[in-house]
Amino acid sequence: MGKPRKIEITTGKAREKLFDEVIDHLQRYNDAEKKWIADEAGVHWGTLYNWCAYSTYSPHLRTIAAVARALGYEIVLKRQHAAPPKLKLVKGRK
């Protein structure tokens, strides 16, 4: 197997980008190969079937990541900058 494809997750839309990339990759395989990929990822083969039929809109990131790894992807989480904490001002009691 060659060098894994790398996907950097840096934005709020990254999950959708990763999901679209995985679905596009899965479309290349027949049903028997998809069942093998599902076994490697530790998910039910029906999950991949539903993804390819576009009947799933928001799967868990851990499921997408498991399938992506089974397809040979390397997933990199990259923090751009820290979000400032949202503080709430509370007035003192009398």
**What is residue 87's three-state secondary structure?**
coil
Count of CB atoms situated within 10 Å of the CB of 71: 18
- pLDDT band for position 14 (cuts 50, 70, 90): confident
Task: State pLDDT tens for residues 36-84.
Answer: 999 999 999 999 999 999 898 788 888 999 999 999 988 777 666 666 6
Question: What does pTM read for this prediction?
Answer: 0.71
Q: How far apart are the first and last CA of the chain?
A: 70
CB 71 within 8 A of CB 78: no
Domains, the chain, in order of start with CATH, read 5-77 (1.10.260)
